[in-house]
Amino acid sequence: PPPTPSPQSYHETTPRDCSRSRRDRLSGDLPSTPRSLDRVLRRIPSPLRPPSNARRQLLPWRGLAARSRGANMGIGEFEAEGDGGEEDEMSVKEREVSVNGLSIKTSEVEAKLDDGNIQEAESSLREGLSLNYEETVSKAVELLPELWKQAGRYQEALASYRRALLSQWNLDDECCARIQKRFAIFLLYAGVEASPPSLASQIDGSFVPKHNLEEAILLLIILLRKWHLGKTQWDPSVIEHLSFALSICGQTSVLARHFEELIPGTFARCDRWYSLALCYSAADQNHSALNLLRKLLKKDESPDYIMALLLAAKICSDDCLFSAEGVEYARRAIANAQVAYEHLKSVGLHFLGNCLGKLAKIASSDHERSTLQSEALRSLDEVVSLERQNPEMLFDLALEYAEQRNANAALRYAKEFIDATGGSISKGWRLLALVLSAQQRYSEAEIVIDAALDETAKWEQGPLLRIKAKLKVAQSLHMDAVEAYRLLLALVQAQRKSFGSFKNIVEVEDENVSEFEVWRGLANLYSGLSHWRDAEICLEKARTLKPYSASSLHIEVLSTYGMPNCILPPHLNEMEDYNWQNSLLPEMEKIATLGLIT
């Protein structure tokens, strides 16, 4: 047989020589890999280096199955499909190198190796086979947390996310933004309780999130900041996730500020105004929200925006001064509730009934008031007929009947509301107790409150304890009332300390009790018992919270007049100048004339 070709000249081997080399292979005489190509392959980073048996796979005379047969070759050969001749079957047309699923032809690399340009050959291999170490590391860092999540190992996924963001991986801005967004979504919705991150390596005084929600909000705000700086592309889902996160912790005013900071054109103007109005309304800034909705609902903007109409009607239904405007918004919403918005018709009728009920309170005549009350009841009855299983409609209808002094109907719908909700919502119990107390059925009302306290979580018992204290006062059980106020005060102070910066959550809604109300109620109770010193202490506590409260001044005046041999406070000394002590005017009229109460 002819001599085996040397490794240095394997690229000059003729097809005939290759076929003979194939026979040599069958006989077991295997030559070694060309040294120059082997050196190049050894310089490939270890994660991308071919397996240890690659030396045999890279031999041209040990070609694998032809690509025409569907094989995935390392370095192989294309065998021509001739008429079946031995030479045509054994001929080699081209060789390829395959790594990581990518293939390149070896002719260019071999030519550079022959010229001794090993660096250029290595560069060609990197470019052709995408042997980019930094890109590979970035993809690995990005995909590792996703693999942990798919495997159900959530703590490992959490650690991988933090390691990816806190370590120096030299990630580009887009890759880092994708990791931050996925991590924020994981923290918000995965339901995994994460321990606070360890940021010992960070600058002293840096903010360290205490729980999942704070960490997710921090990540989303960082993403928004990157977009403002032009480092990333705009992603509308970021503001959506941030809206959810800030809403559930009651920080809608912060969310409104982020909406205001968005570059014009990012959102449609109407959608932006509506989102801002929602934020302001949730933050108890109804006037600001209503002003935005008025701009939105102008004829040259979006006068038929049904969601904005419903929100405006809802805001107006909370204030008698805007109830007439709310009636207009509600009727426009009902008129536009067609086809796709048919299900919103009952919502419009609901707000219409509430606005009419508020408008009846400021009616100028009895006839107008009775007419408005009848329209309000008609609207609410229609809502109940459309959505009988909607508990909120039952509650508002019961409240409207109670305000119109129809106690029997109010009791019936209040009981239906409690049955519909299973007693899980405390405002139904409170309404039932108030209607019973209006009928002077105090013992039954107290039983209802006790049942409600058993069904309600400790954190939500404030309004119930307040009603219980007032029921005790109505039954002349003053010491029991003091005990109820004591429990209420402890609860309110615990809520204030617990929420800290989020204390507006406790004070925003009308159904919650403020600490000022508790001190004022205690002062009123002690003054009724002629415990003047205790009443004075409670008034001092109330004045520290609200220095210029008319109700506090009223109680102070009554306490002062009841205390024997006492000196009037400085702001009441002017009463002596009028010499009204022997006047026939009632005492309350004197105080009202001086403007001390409203």
Query: What is the tens place of the pLDDT at every residue in 57-108?
Result: 333 333 333 333 333 333 333 333 444 444 444 334 456 666 555 566 666 6
Tokens of 51: 């397996």
Residue 389, pLDDT score: 79
Which pLDDT band, with edges at 50, 70 and 90, does 223 fall under? very high
Residue 48: pLDDT over 70 = no
Q: What percent of the chain clears pLDDT 90, i.e. is strictly above it?
A: 41
**Residue 176 vs residue 116, higher pLDDT:** 176
122 Cβ contact partners less than 8 Å away, ≥ 6 residues apart: 40, 43
Residue type, 469: A
Residue among 331, 391, 382, 334 nearest 359 (CA): 331
Q: What local confidence, expressed as pLDDT, does residue 109 receive?
A: 66
355-369: pLDDT as tens digits = 999 999 999 899 999
Q: Residue 591 has what pLDDT? A: 41
Exposure pattern of 38-67 as b/e (b: 16+ CB <10 Å)? eebbeebeeeeebeeebbebbbbbbbeebb
Q: 420: which 2 tokens?
A: 């519909």
- Top pLDDT among 119 and 215 is at 215
Average pLDDT in the 332-358 region?
A: 89
| pLDDT band of 586, cuts 50, 70, 90 | very low
Mean pLDDT of 277-295: 94
- Please work out, in degrees rounded to the nearest 5, the angle formed at the alpha carbon of residue 280 by the alpha carbons of 274 and 285: 135
Backbone torsions φ then ψ of 103, nearest 5 degrees: -130, 145
User: What's the mean pLDDT in 555-560?
Assistant: 62
The per-residue pLDDT for 484 is 92
Q: Would you state the structure tokens that stand for residue 26, as one six-digit string?
A: 């069958």
Q: How far is CA 138 from CA 62, 102, 142, 597, in A?
A: 36, 19, 6, 70
pLDDT digits (tens, 9 = 90+) for 1-34: 444 444 343 333 334 444 444 444 444 444 444 4
Question: 291 falls in which pLDDT band (50, 70, 90)?
Answer: very high
What mean pLDDT is predicted for residues 133-154?
88
Fill in the DSSP letter of residue 511.
T
- Would you place residue 253 in the very low, low, confident or very high pLDDT band (cuts 50, 70, 90)? very high
Q: pLDDT value at position 79?
A: 37
Residue 560 has pLDDT above 50, yes or no: yes
Domain ranges of the chain: 7-131, 134-249, 514-598
> Where is average pLDDT lowest: 60-64, 258-262, 272-276, 587-591?
60-64
How many C-beta neighbours within 10 Å does residue 432 have? 25
Task: Inform me whether the pLDDT recorded for 122 exceeds 60.
Answer: yes
Q: What is the pLDDT of residue 543?
A: 85
Residue-level pLDDT at 202: 56
| Apex 68 CA angle, 66 and 74, nearest 5 | 40
pLDDT for 272 equals: 93
**Is pLDDT above 80 for 44?**
no
Helix spans in 151-172 (H): 154-166
What is the DSSP pairing of strand 102-105 with strand 96-99?
antiparallel
Contact 40, 113 (CB under 8 A): yes
Q: What is the dihedral of CA 412, 414, 420, 421, to 10 degrees?
A: -160
Higher pLDDT, 51 or 465: 465
Q: Which backbone phi and psi does 137 adopt, to 5 degrees?
A: -65, -40
Owner of token pair 């992603």: 235
| Among 251-260, 515-524, 569-578, the least confident range | 569-578
Q: Between residues 203 and 181, which one has the greater pLDDT?
A: 181
**205-214, 238-247, 578-587: range with lowest mean pLDDT:** 578-587
Q: How far apart are CA 61 and CA 77, in angstroms?
A: 9
pLDDT at 374: 93
Residue 506 has pLDDT above 50, yes or no: no
pLDDT tens figures, 366-422: 999 999 999 999 999 998 888 877 888 899 999 999 988 899 999 999 999 999 998
Question: Predicted confidence band at 172 (pLDDT cuts at 50, 70, 90)?
Answer: confident
Q: For the whole model, what pTM was predicted?
A: 0.65
pLDDT of amino acid 77: 38
Domain 134-249 of CATH type 1.10.3470 = no
Least confident interval from 178-192, 228-242, 504-518:
504-518
> CA-to-CA distance for 39 and 116, rounded, in angstroms?
12
Q: pLDDT at residue 211 above 90?
A: no
